A and B are shown apart, each in its own frame.
Chain A
Amino acid sequence: MREPVLTWCVPLELLCSHPLPVSAFLKTQVKLYTYRACAGKDEMGKMVSVINTVDTSHEDMIHDAQMDYYGTRLATCSSDRSVKIFDVRNGGQILIADLRGHEGPVWQVAWAHPMYGNILASCSYDRKVIIWREENGTWEKSHEHAGHDSSVNSVCWAPHDYGLILACGSSDGAISLLTYTGEGQWEVKKINNAHTIGCNAVSWAPAVVPGSLIDQPSGQKPNYIKRFASGGCDNLIKLWKEEEDGQWKEEQKLEAHSDWVRDVAWAPSIGLPTSTIASCSQDGRVFIWTCDDASSNTWSPKLLHKFNDVVWHVSWSITANILAVSGGDNKVTLWKESVDGQWVCISDVNKGQGSVSASVTEGQQNEQ
C-alpha cells in the first residue's frame, strides 16, 4: 500500500473482561468507520466517504488549512505568500478572498471565535503576524504585528471567554500575546526566551472557571485562570499561566522528548477534571500528557506511539475523542483511548496484521 493514506486506526475492543473503575468508562474502545475507497467485492455496509476537493489554486506548497467554527468557510495559506478564504457550504467552493500582505511563506492560519466577527490570523516566515477582518463584506488587513526577530511559526486564539487574545510562537524563541482592547488597538505582551532556539507551537487550555460556575452578574467577567502550552526547539513543552498582575509566568516544564517539539495540542474540555495535552516531536514520539486535578501540577506522560519519522502535527477532534497525528510517513493516523488506558491504533497487533510497519508492535501492550 504505497499510496498516500488516511488510516482510520482502529480502536477496538468493545469488550473487556476486566472490571474497571467508573472513570474508565470514558475510555471505551470502539471501532471507527471503515472506509474502502478502492473497488472490491460488495462488502456489507462499506460505503465510500464523500471527498470534496477544493482547488485553492495556490501557486506553491500549502502549509495550513483551517475550517471556521461552523465548517462553512475554509482558510488556506501557502508558500506563495497568500492567504485564501473559500466558502465551502453545500460542497461548493467559492473564493471569497485572496489576501496578500505577507512577504514570505505563510505557515499557519487561525480563525477567531465568531462572536468577535469574522477574524483570521496568519503568521509567516517574514516575522509578521497579520490579523485580517471582514468589514462590510470585504476582507482587509486589520492589524499587523511585527514584534519578532524571526519566523513566526504558530498562532492560536485563546478561548473566547478570555476575550480576543492571540498567542504567537516564533523561531526567535519568544511568544507574544496580542490582546484586543477595542477601537482597533491591540496590546502586546511578550515572553522572551520562552524556548531556546525557537518556539514551534502554542495551544491554549480550554476555559475553566475555578470553583463553581455560578451565573455571574452581568458585566462582570469571571476570574479565569488563563493558561496555554508551548513546544519548542529545547525539546520541552512549557505551560504558562497568567498571574494576577497580568504577567505570564512559566508554570511547568514537561520533559520527555529527545528532540525538537513540533506541535502541542491541548484537548477540549469534556467536563471532567482531567486535562490532557498531546505533543509530538522530531524524535518520532507522540506523548499524551494528563493531569488529574486542576489544582495539582503533576502531569504524567504516556507514549502514544513511536513513529519512524518526524511527527509534525497533532490535533484533537472537537469533542476530544479522537486524536489525529500526521507524520513524515505520509499518513494521518487517528487514535482513540482504550479501556485500559492504552492508546490504540490497531486492534490486533499480536497477529501481525496491519499496514503499519512492524515497529509498531513494540510498546503496544494491548488489552487482553
Chain B
Amino acid sequence: MEELDGEPTVTLIPGVNSKKNQMCFDWGPGEMLVCETSFNKKEKSEMVPSCPFIYIIRKDVDVYSQILRKLFNESHGIFLGLQRIDEELTGKSRKSQLVRVSKNYRSVIRACMEEMHQVAIAAKDPANGRQFSSQVSILSAMELIWNLCEILFIEVAPAGPLLLHLLDWVRLHVCEVDSLSADVLGSENPSKHDSFWNLPGNTQTLTELELKWQHWHEECERYLQDSTFATSPHLESLLKIMLGDEAALLEQKELLSNWYHFLVTRLLYSNPTVKPIDLHYYAQSSLDLFLGGESSPEPLDNILLAAFEFDIHQVIKECSIALSNWWFVAHLTDLLDHCKLLQSHNLYFGSNMREFLLLEYASGLFAHPSLWQLGVDYFDYCPELGRVSLELHIERIPLNTEQKALKVLRICEQRQMTEQVRSICKILAMRAVRNNRLGSALSWSIRAKDAAFATLVSDRFLRDYCERGCFSDLDLIDNLGPAMMLSDRLTFLGKYREFHRMYGEKRFADAASLLLSLMTSRIAPRSFWMTLLTDALPLLEQKQVIFSAEQTYELMRCLEDLTSRRPVHGESDTEQLQDDDIETTKVEMLRLSLARNLARAIIREGSLEGS
C-alpha cells in the first residue's frame, strides 16, 4: 500500500518571531502552551524585546461549535445503539439493521447541515456567513462519502441495483442531474426509457435486464449508424449520450457538475448492469476524462476514488487527513468494523484501528465542559485502552460544582475505578477544608476512605467546638454509623457528640460512663482531656451521685496524669503563662468536685450495701 505523501502540516503561531527567539511549550490536559523563550540560561538575557505572550493551542476546535454539538450528541445515541446490536444476528436481518444505522448517521449529518445552512444565510457578518457555508460544504462532503460507503460497503449492492443506488446518490447531491434526465426523457423514446427503468418492484432477473438493455442499445446504435437523426444534431448528440459516448457526454460538461456525476451518467448509458468490482475502472477513467488534465484531483476526489476501488483503509486514511476532527472516521470505521469489513481486509490490527480512532475522538470530547460525558461511553467500548484512557482523562475534569463532582464520582464508582474515586474525594475534601466547610470535608474524606484526612477534619471540628462551644454539622456527626471507625479521631468525635446527646437527654449515668471510657480507652487525644474533665463538672455537681466511687477514682487518676505532664505540647511561653492561671483554677475546681463526689459516692455505696 502506498504511503500517503504529505508534508507535516505546519501551524504558524502569529507573533512569535523565529528569527530571534526559540519556542518552548508544555502540555496542558487538553491543550498545548507555546511561547517565545531563550533556552540559553544566562543570568542576564540579551536586550532583545521579548514577547510576553503565551499561546494556548487547542486541537479539537470543532468540539466547541454549537451546531456540531447536536451532531455529537445524536450520533452518540446511534453509536450506543450500534454497540448493543445483538451479535447473534446474521445475514439479511443484520445487514438491514446496519444499513438502518448508517442511514441514521447520515440523517443526523443532514440535519446538522440544514441547521448550519440556516445560520449561514442568517449571519449578519459576511465572514461568519462564509465560515458557516464552508462548514456546510464540509458536512455535505462527509455525507456524500458516507452515502457512497453505505452503498458499496454496507448495503453491498450487487450489479443492477448498484447503479440505481448510485443514481440516487448522485441525485441527492447534485441538483443538475434532474435537468439532464429531463433532457433525455424528452427525447424520442421516452416510453422505452420509462419501461426500462421501472425497476422498483421489478421482478426481472439481471440477465433479463441485460438482454433488454442490449437490445435497446443496439437499436440506438442502428439509429445512429443509419443517420436517422442526421437532420437534427441535437437529437444525434442525444443519441450518442444514450449510447454512453464519453465525448458526447463531456460536451455537456456544464450540466455535469463533477466527475462522479459523469461516471454515473456514463454507466447509466454504457453499462447499467455494472458489477461492483468493475466500478473502479470506470471511476478512474471518468475522473481523468472529466478533469481533462486541466486540474488535479482534490482530496474529496481521492477519497471517492478509493471507495470505488473498495479500498476501505485508504478511504479512512484519506478522511483522517482531510477532516479536522475525528468524528467522521471514528464513527464510520466503527460501523464498518461491525460489518466485519476491517477484519476481512486481513489486517491484524484492523479492529484496533477502530479502537484507535474512537480513542482519539473520545479524547477530543474531554476537552469540552459538558461533552466529556459522551466520551465516557466511547471509552467504555474500547476494550484495550478504553479504561486506562478514561482513568487518565476523568481525573482532569475540573470539578467546578458539587453536581459535576458527584457525576464524575458516579461514573468512576460504576466502573470500579477506586483510585480515581479516592483521588477525587481527597481533592474535594481538601477544597472543603480550605473553604471552612467542615461537614462537607468530613463526608468527602469518609467517601475517600482517607483516615489521615478524616483525622485532620475531626481535629478541626474539635477545635471549633473548643472555641465556640458548639458543633457545626451535627447531622453528619450524629449519623456517622460505621464510618466512625475510619480513624480514631473520628471515632472520638462521634462518641463525644454522643456524650453530648446523652447529656441532653438526661441519661446522666450513660453519659458519665461514656465520658470516662473516652479517656481510659485512650481514644480521646490528650489535648482534649481537660475539656472532657471540665465536661464532667456538671455531672459531678448534680444533686444525685452519678459517678461511682470507682469511676471517681479513675477520673482523679486521669486528672493527676494530665497535670503531672505539663507543659502540654506546642504552646508558647506567653500563652502558657496566661493559661496557667486558668488551668490552675480549673484543676482546683475539679479536685474539689471530685473529692466531694467521691465522698458522696462512698457514702451512697456504703449505705446501699448496708441496707
Of the candidates A8, A318, A368, the one whose C-beta lies within 8 Å of that of B9 is A8
**What residue in chain A is nearest B436 (Cβ atoms)?**
A136
Given contacts A79-B45, A117-B430, A347-B4, contact A271 B388 (CB under 8 A): yes
Query: Which of the segments A16-24, A141-149, A230-238, A295-303 contacts the partner chain?
Result: A16-24
Given contacts A34-B321, A44-B322, A61-B45, contact A218 B450 (CB under 8 A): yes
Contact partners of B24 in chain A: CB under 8 A: 62-65, 312-313, 326
Give chain B nearest CB distance to A368 CB in angstroms: 6
Query: Which of the segments A69-77, A185-193, A242-250, A283-291 contacts the partner chain?
Result: A69-77
A122-156 Cβ-contact flags toward B at 8 Å (1 or 0): 00010000000001100000000000000101000
Of the candidates B18, B26, B51, the one whose C-beta lies within 8 Å of that of A2 is B18
B42-64 Cβ-contact flags toward A at 8 Å (1 or 0): 01010000111111111101101
A35 contacts B9, C-beta separation under 8 Å: yes
Residue A10, interface by CB 8 Å: yes
B5 contacts A347, C-beta separation under 8 Å: yes
B299 contacts A115, C-beta separation under 8 Å: no
B10 contacts A326, C-beta separation under 8 Å: no
B384 contacts A7, C-beta separation under 8 Å: no
Residue B481, interface by CB 8 Å: no
Residue B31, interface by CB 8 Å: yes
Residue B449, interface by CB 8 Å: yes
A31 contacts B25, C-beta separation under 8 Å: no
**What residue in chain B is nearest A309 (Cβ atoms)?**
B22
Residue A251, interface by CB 8 Å: no
Residue B317, interface by CB 8 Å: yes
A326 contacts B18, C-beta separation under 8 Å: no
Taken together as a complex, chains A and B put the C-alpha atoms of A368 and B24 apart, in Å, by 34
Residue B357, interface by CB 8 Å: yes
Interface residues of B in 1-57 (CB under 8 A from A): 1, 3-19, 21-39, 41, 43, 45, 50-57
Given contacts A42-B134, A319-B389, contact A47 B61 (CB under 8 A): yes
Residue A358, interface by CB 8 Å: no
A355 contacts B32, C-beta separation under 8 Å: no
Taken together as a complex, chains A and B put the C-alpha atoms of A32 and B10 apart, in Å, by 11
A34 contacts B3, C-beta separation under 8 Å: no
Contact partners of A368 in chain B: CB under 8 A: 3
Taken together as a complex, chains A and B put the C-alpha atoms of A302 and B298 apart, in Å, by 38
B28 contacts A71, C-beta separation under 8 Å: yes
A contact face: mostly helix, strand, loop, or mixed: loop
Contact partners of A25 in chain B: CB under 8 A: 349, 352, 384
Give chain B nearest CB distance to A211 CB in angstroms: 15
Contact partners of A114 in chain B: CB under 8 A: 427, 430-431
Contact partners of B323 in chain A: CB under 8 A: 44-45
Residue A107, interface by CB 8 Å: yes
Contact partners of A364 in chain B: CB under 8 A: none
Contact partners of A268 in chain B: CB under 8 A: 392
Residue B434, interface by CB 8 Å: yes
Residue B592, interface by CB 8 Å: no
Contact partners of A44 in chain B: CB under 8 A: 137-138, 141, 298-300, 322-323
Interface residues of A in 264-313 (CB under 8 A from B): 268-271, 310, 312-313
Given contacts A3-B12, A56-B53, contact A47 B62 (CB under 8 A): yes
Contact partners of B451 in chain A: CB under 8 A: 218-219
Give chain A nearest CB distance to B522 CB in angstroms: 17
**What residue in chain A is nearest B453 (Cβ atoms)?**
A115
A336-368 Cβ-contact flags toward B at 8 Å (1 or 0): 000100000111101101111000000000101
Residue B397, interface by CB 8 Å: yes
Of the candidates A37, A71, A115, the one whose C-beta lies within 8 Å of that of B29 is A71
Residue B407, interface by CB 8 Å: no
Given contacts A9-B8, A218-B449, contact A17 B1 (CB under 8 A): yes
Contact partners of B392 in chain A: CB under 8 A: 268, 270, 318-319
Interface residues of A in 202-232 (CB under 8 A from B): 213, 215, 218-219
Taken together as a complex, chains A and B put the C-alpha atoms of A9 and B14 apart, in Å, by 19
Residue B187, interface by CB 8 Å: no
A31 contacts B11, C-beta separation under 8 Å: no
Query: Which A residues fall within an 8 A CB radius of B?
Result: 1-10, 12-17, 19-20, 24-26, 28, 30-38, 42-67, 69-72, 74, 76, 79, 88-89, 104-105, 107, 113-117, 125, 135-136, 151, 153, 160, 213, 215, 218-219, 262, 268-271, 310, 312-313, 315-319, 324, 326-328, 330-333, 339, 345-348, 350-351, 353-356, 366, 368
A-B contact pairs, 5 of them (CB 8 A): A30-B360, A45-B324, A53-B55, A54-B56, A324-B25
Taking A61-B36, A153-B41 as known contacts, 6 extra A-B pairs with beta carbons closer than 8 A to each other, sorted by chain A number, are: A61-B37, A61-B38, A71-B396, A74-B54, A346-B8, A348-B5
Query: Which B residues fall within an 8 A CB radius of A?
Result: 1, 3-19, 21-39, 41, 43, 45, 50-59, 61-62, 64, 134, 137-138, 141, 298-300, 313-314, 316-317, 320-325, 347-349, 352-353, 356-357, 360, 363, 384-385, 387-389, 392-393, 395-399, 418-419, 423, 426-427, 430-431, 434, 449-452, 486-487
